[in-house]
Structure 1
Amino acid sequence: MRHLRTRGAARRPARARARLATAVVAALAAPAFLAGAAEADSRRSEPAEQWTTRILAPGVTVRAGVLRHPGADHAWTVTVQAPTSSRWSTNDPDAPVTWAEVSTRAWAAGTARELADAGLRPRVESVQWPRYADTPHGVMGYRVRVGRFTTQQEARTAASAVTAAGFRTTLSWTGYDIQEPADLENVHVAVIDPDTFDGTVQATHDGNVAQREATSAVARKLDSLVAVNGGFFVLATGDGVPGTMSGIGAYEGELESMAAGSRSALLMEDGGRRVRVADLTSTVTARAGKAAYQVQGINRVPGTVRDCGRPGSTPSELPWQDVTCRLADDLVEFTPAFRAGLPTGPGVQAVLDASGRVVSVGARGGRVPEDGRVLQGIGRAADWLTAHARPYSRVTVGEVVRTTDGRRVRLDGDDSLVSAAPTLVKDGRIDIDAAAEGVVDPEYTSFGYAWANVRQPRTMAGVDQRGRLILATVDGRLKNGSEGFTLYEAARFMQSLGAVDALNLDGGGSTAMAVDGTLVNHPSDAAGERPVGDTVQVLPARD
């Protein structure tokens, strides 16, 4: 990985700073340096828990909980943003500047001096690395803050003075900080016992991988007992086709998207009779006679790889959360579950019938035949299709899914899986491989900081020692006062529920749990429940 060059903060003349001092809000915190120097261990303040329990069916139990941490005292504050260069453009003097909450000690000390010169009263706080399995320990960096305020509006007023002094700011709620326990966390937990439950558990994209639907809407349609949102998916057209998955996904035994590197997945076999958490990879190969070419995607736009993690993708072949990589030479398979218009543009496509016979070869576009498949290629992949996918010839597509220890996962019609990141618990121990799964970067500490190290709404899944499936959500972003979990807190929570293996599913505004078709949590999006890609549904037995 490359080292970054940060840019200095904007400076104002001394006379301007002096004039601004008279406009400073009076209720600013006293100056402090290295406040909050240690990562909080919220076990120091065990939460007071309040639970209600419902039994929906034999083997299906749902609990709603309120976790309160006595003594937690939080406020609104003004956080100064640090400028930093783009990760992959560090040698480019014209690289775009991004902004981070955490930076170097030198930046924090210099910024604090400038704020003090402007008549403000800053404090510098150290931020510790969470206890991930594959990142450094100790101090991650430093942030600069001004004031503690009861209301967000008071903080906004104070922020205007900091901005006028020449600094970029954001408003922060200290209850999201990893250093201190949260005030309140609203959680929902479903436990499904395959030894007692006579229904099924399955992942579903509801028949069309090129669409988004709310978790509760799918639950009502399927008359499910419990439902949660599933894996990561494309939101914007610039990143692919909205609704398509950005990690491995399989429904009714059919692989409908490929893995983004080696990332954790929830595998539900035999209709959920066996459930496990494992890091999975996928390999897909197209063959025409003796010629072969690696397929790098299923049901996505050729050349566009959300969350990266495919061989040859740039700027990274490794998983990289919420980043869209590119592939110049790309072969993509489209299945009948892709029920939208096929992507158009440069390249070639071959339409195959159910037996793999080439029906046509030509420009990209149209739709996938109901009983066939389509291969689209760009770059050298287009050349390969032109040379080998001749009309009436046969092109077969073989798919292999493996765990990281090399064991093959054979998908049958009652099997399904969803994928996200990272692993939270492994063999009963907290084991968060945050860097390996691409949700943080040890050399670029601002990347993934808010996503992983700040409390957020989260959806989690795991398996306990008895083979029971655990599905859990926590509300966040102060919905009904709930602040959410950091990744480490999510892992500890799943471990407290008895999970021996667990993973983080999609979260934030996607987090949703429906019980008997009714949404029971409070999603964080202002518009309400977010339409998502795939979901996990607990379905009653059918006569």
Structure 2
Amino acid sequence: MKGAVFGQLSFCFEAAIFSLEFVMRVLKKILVLAAALMLAAASYVHAAADLTGLRSSSGTARDRIVFDLTEMPIYHANISEDGRELTLDFANVNAAKLNRAAIRTKRIQSVSYAKRNGHFYVTVTMAKGMSYRIGNLTNPFRIFVDIASEGAAKSEENPAVKPAQKPVERPVPSDAPPQEMPAYIKVLQEHGLLGDVDPRDVSAGRVLPVSRVTNLGQGLQMTTQVWQDEDGLVTAFFIEADPQFYSVRPALARGYIPGRQTVSGIARATNAAAAINASYFAPNGELIGVTKIDGLVVGTTYFDRSAFGVMEDGSFIFGVVSYNGTVKIDQTTLPVSGVDAERGENNLIIYNRAYGRTTGTNPYGLEYVVRNGRVTEINTNDSVIPSDGYVVSVHGSSMDAFASAGVRVGDPVTLTEHITGAFDRAVQVVGAGPRLVENGKVHVTAGDEQFPGDIRYGRSPRSAVGVTKNGMIFFAVVDGRQSHSHGLTLTEFAEFLVKQGVRDAVNLDGGGSSALYADGKVQNFPSDGTERSVGSALVLQKK
């Protein structure tokens, strides 16, 4: 009996050892296989987007740089502030075999290369007065950059946007290996921009353009459109709002100046149904553009530029605006240099309740606190701004003029402010520019409004506010500098707006600032890779 029991125990023990050895062998094989798969995947990723060649050519109309690739990579393009340095940022691209050619022509001053943090950068420095366009080609995969004199690089008109076609039926053999989609198609899928459309049809160019409309509630509709022109993909997002149900107004980042906040942050703080980035702004968030909120001027600029306005009766106006202001203390009258902005040399700046608690100025000036039309305090700097008044802050010659007049506490003060034409009576004003559409026709005024190169030249992410022919409020954003959307020139953007039935429109700040918020989130994909903090936004609020 003992022997039988011992035999059973011995058998169980040996079986356990065998089972353990078997499990260990299986685990070892799994680990080896996993390591092999990881190496294979790494090799695939590394080899999936090889930058194999760089070519250039020069013609009478343009210079062209062509990048040869094994697959279309995800890339971003950035233009310098002066519009002369174009940098292509390639992610996960192997450029080891690339012949880094030195390129110099009348239009191209230099081409430089850099590798940082797994990214490969190519910077093209253009001669003054040049513009560019970027395009993608397939079979084989190529990215090209055309450099030409301003306006000469404009592409053909985009095809009219129409509803998506039904995907083409085609037999697929059951044993056929799955086909790898190009990287830009994967991006469209990941962003949810294709809806139910088969990505293979998009890759083959059978179903573009794609248009998807989402009803966000009574009187509010969002549309996403993806189309393809000769240079690659373009992706646009726009909101149409019925003014019967929604009002539109500018809103400040964090509710005051200076300050910066994301468009989504501003939208949530104001309980907005939708929002879009608005005016240009300084690094500290001060607005660069004539801006009025609920009748209070909160931003100015030295340039006469296009603006969008809302009248007291709810009607909308578009046009070029300028600000003119004067301050009269006792018998001395001086011009206003700006409103809610940093005080500069010889300036007279008005600080009102939109600027926050204090002026934040340095001690090299004088400040007159005004309530009920009279000077109530005289300080050297950093005065507390009254909620029921304002501060007149002066420096240099402006300070000397009031000081020599012997201004004292109790002296009467008259602040006179005027904005061009009907904008003087508007309750809401957003100054940005240039004008894009006037009376249903393309009307781009970038040159007349003296915009710098980073706004005027090339294709970029764009934002605009407009009104359609049937009176709808229209917010639009076009993504750019990315593989799912190369962006648009100002003229191309204006043409797109006209095709959507827009009657009048003004360009807003663009580039990495372009962001459209709706349905609780930012709908587009900002070119910085994340939302940029901005100085202000236009918000749609339910009435």
**Is residue 275 from structure 1 mapped to residue 316 from structure 2 by the alignment?**
yes
**Is residue 199 from structure 1 mapped to residue 246 from structure 2 by the alignment?**
yes
Counterpart residue identity of residue 443, structure 2: D
User: For the structure 1 residues 409 and 529, does the alpha-carbon distance in structure 2 shift closer, same or farther, using more than 3 Å as the test?
Assistant: same
User: How many Å apart are 1:449 and its aligned residue?
Assistant: 3.7
Residues 331, 381 of structure 1: 8 Å contact kept:
yes
Match of 1:309 in 2: none
Match of 2:408 in 1: 390
Match of 2:343 in 1: 302
User: For the structure 1 residues 351 and 449, does the alpha-carbon distance in structure 2 shift closer, same or farther, using more than 3 Å as the test?
Assistant: closer
Residues 457, 524 of structure 1: 8 Å contact kept:
yes
Alignment of 1:56-67 (within 5 A): 56-67=216-227
User: How many Å apart are 1:189 and its aligned residue?
Assistant: 0.8
Deviations 1:194-234 (A, max 9, x none): 2xx32321111153121111111121222211110101011
Distance in structure 2 (CA, Å) of the matches to 1:489 and 1:388: 57
Deviations 1:327-371 (A, max 9, x none): x42110000111154233354333334312212223122331233
Residues 350, 358 of structure 1: 8 Å contact kept:
no
Match of 2:443 in 1: 431
Runs (5+) with no aligned partner, structure 1? 1-24, 70-180, 236-241, 304-327, 440-447
Residues 465, 508 of structure 2: 8 Å contact kept:
yes
Match of 2:518 in 1: 515
Match of 1:497 in 2: 500
Counterpart residue identity of residue 240, structure 2: V
Match of 1:253 in 2: 295
User: For the structure 1 residues 31 and 234, does the alpha-carbon distance in structure 2 shift closer, same or farther, using more than 3 Å as the test?
Assistant: closer
Match of 1:460 in 2: 464
Deviations 1:454-481 (A, max 9, x none): 1111101112233322110011110x52
Residues 348, 363 of structure 1: 8 Å contact kept:
yes
User: For the structure 1 residues 184 and 44, does the alpha-carbon distance in structure 2 shift closer, same or farther, using more than 3 Å as the test?
Assistant: closer
User: How many Å apart are 1:250 and its aligned residue?
Assistant: 0.9
Identity %: 26
User: For the structure 1 residues 42 and 393, does the alpha-carbon distance in structure 2 shift closer, same or farther, using more than 3 Å as the test?
Assistant: same
| TM score, norm. by length of structure 1 | 0.62
User: For the structure 1 residues 290 and 187, does the alpha-carbon distance in structure 2 shift closer, same or farther, using more than 3 Å as the test?
Assistant: same
Which structure has the larger Rg over C-alpha atoms?
Answer: 2
Residues 310, 428 of structure 2: 8 Å contact kept:
yes
| Aligned CA-pair RMSD | 2.3
Distance in structure 1 (CA, Å) of the matches to 2:458 and 2:484: 16
**Is residue 380 from structure 1 mapped to residue 397 from structure 2 by the alignment?**
yes
Match of 1:15 in 2: none
SS of structure 2 residue aligned to 1:483: coil
Match of 2:235 in 1: 186
Distance in structure 2 (CA, Å) of the matches to 1:371 and 1:30: 64
- Alignment partner for residue 293 of structure 1, among 323, 330, 334? 334
SS of structure 2 residue aligned to 1:495: helix
User: How many Å apart are 1:44 and its aligned residue?
Assistant: 7.3
**Is residue 34 from structure 1 mapped to residue 60 from structure 2 by the alignment?**
yes
Distance in structure 1 (CA, Å) of the matches to 2:214 and 2:235: 16
Alignment of 1:70-469 (within 5 A): 181-194=230-243, 197-205=244-252, 207-235=255-283, 242-270=284-312, 273-303=314-344, 328-339=345-356, 341-345=358-362, 347-386=364-403, 387=405, 389-403=407-421, 408-411=422-425, 415-439=427-451, 448-469=452-473
Counterpart residue identity of residue 34, structure 1: T
User: How many Å apart are 1:27 and its aligned residue?
Assistant: 3.5
Distance in structure 1 (CA, Å) of the matches to 2:265 and 2:354: 19
Distance in structure 2 (CA, Å) of the matches to 1:292 and 1:370: 24
User: For the structure 1 residues 355 and 423, does the alpha-carbon distance in structure 2 shift closer, same or farther, using more than 3 Å as the test?
Assistant: same
Deviations 1:157-177 (A, max 9, x none): xxxxxxxxxxxxxxxxxxxxx
User: For the structure 1 residues 365 and 44, does the alpha-carbon distance in structure 2 shift closer, same or farther, using more than 3 Å as the test?
Assistant: closer
Instruction: Give the structure, 1 or 2, with the largest relative contact order (CA under 8 Å, sep 6 or more).
Output: 1
Match of 2:12 in 1: none
Distance in structure 1 (CA, Å) of the matches to 2:430 and 2:222: 21
Residues 456, 476 of structure 1: 8 Å contact kept:
yes
User: For the structure 1 residues 261 and 44, does the alpha-carbon distance in structure 2 shift closer, same or farther, using more than 3 Å as the test?
Assistant: closer
User: For the structure 1 residues 211 and 411, does the alpha-carbon distance in structure 2 shift closer, same or farther, using more than 3 Å as the test?
Assistant: farther
Residues 460, 505 of structure 1: 8 Å contact kept:
yes
User: For the structure 1 residues 536 and 28, does the alpha-carbon distance in structure 2 shift closer, same or farther, using more than 3 Å as the test?
Assistant: closer
Aligned residues: 357
Distance in structure 1 (CA, Å) of the matches to 2:487 and 2:358: 38
User: How many Å apart are 1:522 and its aligned residue?
Assistant: 0.6
Counterpart residue identity of residue 339, structure 1: G
User: For the structure 1 residues 389 and 59, does the alpha-carbon distance in structure 2 shift closer, same or farther, using more than 3 Å as the test?
Assistant: farther
Moved more, 48-57 or 468-477: 48-57
Distance in structure 1 (CA, Å) of the matches to 2:219 and 2:240: 8
Match of 1:54 in 2: 214
Match of 2:137 in 1: none
**Is residue 43 from structure 1 mapped to residue 157 from structure 2 by the alignment?**
yes
Residues 463, 478 of structure 2: 8 Å contact kept:
yes
SS of structure 1 residue aligned to 2:355: coil
Residues 234, 478 of structure 2: 8 Å contact kept:
yes
User: For the structure 1 residues 259 and 451, does the alpha-carbon distance in structure 2 shift closer, same or farther, using more than 3 Å as the test?
Assistant: closer
User: How many Å apart are 1:43 and its aligned residue?
Assistant: 2.2
Residues 348, 393 of structure 2: 8 Å contact kept:
yes
Match of 1:83 in 2: none
| TM score, norm. by length of structure 2 | 0.62
Match of 2:533 in 1: 531
Counterpart residue identity of residue 302, structure 2: A
Residues 480, 486 of structure 2: 8 Å contact kept:
yes
User: How many Å apart are 1:498 and its aligned residue?
Assistant: 1.6
SS of structure 2 residue aligned to 1:532: coil
Deviations 1:232-257 (A, max 9, x none): 0111xxxxxx1110111111111111
Distance in structure 1 (CA, Å) of the matches to 2:289 and 2:477: 20
User: For the structure 1 residues 450 and 212, does the alpha-carbon distance in structure 2 shift closer, same or farther, using more than 3 Å as the test?
Assistant: closer
Distance in structure 1 (CA, Å) of the matches to 2:500 and 2:160: 15
User: How many Å apart are 1:500 and its aligned residue?
Assistant: 2.1
User: How many Å apart are 1:516 and its aligned residue?
Assistant: 2.8
Residues 263, 280 of structure 1: 8 Å contact kept:
yes
Deviations 1:36-75 (A, max 9, x none): 4854442276673211112223222111111222xxxxxx
Distance in structure 2 (CA, Å) of the matches to 1:33 and 1:411: 53
User: For the structure 1 residues 30 and 211, does the alpha-carbon distance in structure 2 shift closer, same or farther, using more than 3 Å as the test?
Assistant: closer
Distance in structure 2 (CA, Å) of the matches to 1:483 and 1:348: 48
Residues 462, 477 of structure 2: 8 Å contact kept:
yes
